């Protein structure tokens, strides 16, 4: 069987435990037309109780989802030499990568990332006084005996456009469930940083020591995830901290609230920890869409949800600087915790909130 690279080994308390958790399913919500008020209520409840839900009858054509699954498998089947032709680096975070770390432990996976808008501007660094911008650009796989370049690019871009439509629809429903206008946050996504990720989790001989992705929360507004029938995603249940497997539902997308919606909702909806377990027998593929705003957007609680009885629980932060800070950790293990939204919490004895405000929030 051989030895496992120590970089992949989770600390004892975070290793997956092989046990069956009997639980009612993560909510499955039907997005069919004609049930708007019920939809708003169902989504609000799911966001509050779980931070996760699945959607069916979502409008994304099955054919395009299937084509992207085929493209993804073909890409990861190519040689490492081919994949490294589109390998991302510290200057351009788009493309192939096989060395991601979560909580400073290496993930058992390979990824390919691409932007919805093909190029996007982000701050050159996380330093608050650095006003320079750099441009992220999509890298597309080269022509190879396995597939035609034009087919890959067209398929992936069409998929991104379809899932983006779904993300806007869900954001509107979530906004309305908070009592806000449906289009309250639409302007935040002009020149967005949204991206699609192709995930490949190889079979792992050490599923008791490693994770496909370690425990984490998403820094997006929303994440829209397609997964295959292998399964592996687990959600940390809010009520008791148990890790709950998300059973694959055919043709469904898994939706989770991200950090940005947690801040916008002033903690009414919580971004929930999740992780991916691996197994010894089957490889697994998944495709998350991360709904990110533009780099210049200031993230803060919606003013309509803030008053004397419910004061703002976060200082505003500039999303691009937050993104740049997170981006630094992609290529090396760090000695300090990655930037998190709790670093922007406002100290208030009534809430018992910890205060550890990063200088990013003070240099907007």
The secondary structure of residue 87, as a DSSP letter, is B
Q: How many domains, the chain?
A: 1
Q: What's the sign of the alpha-carbon dihedral 345, 348, 351, 352?
A: positive
Residue 122 has pLDDT above 90, yes or no: no
Tens of pLDDT, residue by residue over 158-201, are 999 999 999 999 999 999 999 999 999 999 999 999 999 999 99
Q: Please check whether residue 17 lies inside any domain of the structure.
A: no
% of the chain exceeding 90 in pLDDT: 53
Tens of pLDDT, residue by residue over 288-306, are 999 999 999 999 999 999 9
* Cβ atoms 345, 314 nearer than 8 A: yes
DSSP notation for 124-140: S-S-TT---EEEEE--P
Residue 48 has pLDDT above 90, yes or no: yes
Structural domain boundaries, residue 175? 22-358
Tens of pLDDT, residue by residue over 209-266, are 888 888 889 999 999 999 999 989 999 988 888 888 998 898 999 999 999 999 999 9
Residue 318 has pLDDT above 70, yes or no: yes
Residue 60 has pLDDT above 80, yes or no: yes
Q: Please check whether residue 66 lies inside any domain of the structure.
A: yes
3-class DSSP state for residue 291?
Answer: strand
Q: Is 174 exposed, middle or buried (0-12, 13-18, 19+ CB in 10 A)?
A: buried
Q: Residue 80: give its domain's CATH number.
A: 2.60.120.330
Q: Please check whether residue 237 lies inside any domain of the structure.
A: yes
Q: Please check whether residue 32 lies inside any domain of the structure.
A: yes
**114: phi > 0 → left, psi -120 to 50 → alpha, else beta; which?**
beta
CA distance 128 to 26: 40
pLDDT of residue 21: 57
- β-pair type (28-30, 52-56): parallel
Q: Please check whether residue 1 lies inside any domain of the structure.
A: no
Confidence band (pLDDT; 50, 70, 90) for 348?
A: low
Q: What is the CA radius of gyration of the chain?
A: 20
**Tokens for 122?**
């982000």
CA distance 30 to 322: 34
Give the position of tokens 């495709």: 287
Q: What is the mean pLDDT of the chain?
A: 85
% of the chain exceeding 70 in pLDDT: 84
CB count, 10 Å around CB of 208?
13
Confidence band (pLDDT; 50, 70, 90) for 338?
A: low
Q: Please check whether residue 2 lies inside any domain of the structure.
A: no
DSSP notation for 162-187: HHHHHHHHHHHHHHHHTTS-TTTTGG
* Cβ atoms 113, 95 nearer than 8 A: yes
Q: Of 281, 104, 277, give the one whose Cα is nearest residue 207.
A: 277
Give the position of tokens 């650009």: 137
Cα dihedral 230, 235, 241, 242 in deg (nearest 10): -20
7 or 233: whose pLDDT is higher?
Answer: 233
Q: Please check whether residue 4 lies inside any domain of the structure.
A: no
Residue 47 has pLDDT above 80, yes or no: yes
Q: Please check whether residue 60 lies inside any domain of the structure.
A: yes
């Amino acid at each position: 069987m051989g030895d496992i690279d120590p970089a992949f080994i989770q600390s004892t308390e975070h290793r997956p435990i092989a046990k069956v958790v009997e639980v009612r399913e993560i909510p499955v919500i039907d997005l069919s037309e004609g049930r708007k008020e019920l939809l708003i209520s169902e989504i609000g409840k799911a966001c509050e109780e779980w931070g996760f839900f699945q959607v069916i009858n979502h409008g994304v054509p099955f054919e395009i989802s299937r084509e992207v699954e085929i493209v993804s498998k073909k890409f990861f089947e190519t040689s490492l030499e081919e994949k490294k032709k589109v390998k991302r680096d510290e200057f351009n975070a788009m493309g192939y990568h096989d060395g991601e770390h979560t909580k400073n432990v290496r993930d058992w996976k390979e990824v390919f990332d691409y932007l919805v808008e093909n190029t996007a501007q982000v701050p050159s660094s996380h330093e608050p006084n650095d006003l320079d911008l750099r441009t992220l650009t999509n890298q597309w796989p080269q022509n190879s005996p396995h597939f035609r370049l034009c087919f890959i690019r067209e398929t992936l871009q069409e998929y991104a456009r379809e899932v983006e439509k779904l993300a806007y629809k869900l954001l509107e429903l979530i906004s309305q469930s908070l009592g806000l206008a449906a289009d309250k946050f639409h302007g935040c996504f002009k020149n967005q940083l949204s991206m699609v990720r192709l995930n490949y989790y190889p079979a792992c001989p050490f599923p008791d020591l490693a994770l496909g992705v370690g425990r984490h929360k998403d820094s997006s507004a929303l994440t829209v995830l397609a997964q295959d029938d292998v399964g592996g995603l687990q959600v940390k249940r809010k009520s008791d901290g148990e890790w709950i497997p998300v059973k694959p539902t055919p043709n469904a997308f898994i939706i989770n609230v991200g950090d940005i919606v947690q801040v916008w909702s002033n903690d009414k909806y919580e971004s929930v920890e999740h992780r991916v377990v691996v197994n010894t027998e089957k490889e697994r593929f998944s495709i998350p869409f991360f709904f990110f705003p533009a780099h210049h957007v200031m993230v803060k609680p919606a003013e309509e949800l803030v008053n004397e009885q419910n004061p703002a629980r976060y200082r505003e932060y500039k999303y691009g600087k937050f993104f740049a800070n997170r981006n630094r950790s992609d290529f090396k293990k760090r000695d300090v915790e990655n930037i998190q939204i709790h670093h922007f919490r406002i100290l208030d004895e009534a809430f018992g909130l910890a205060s550890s405000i990063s200088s990013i929030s003070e240099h907007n």
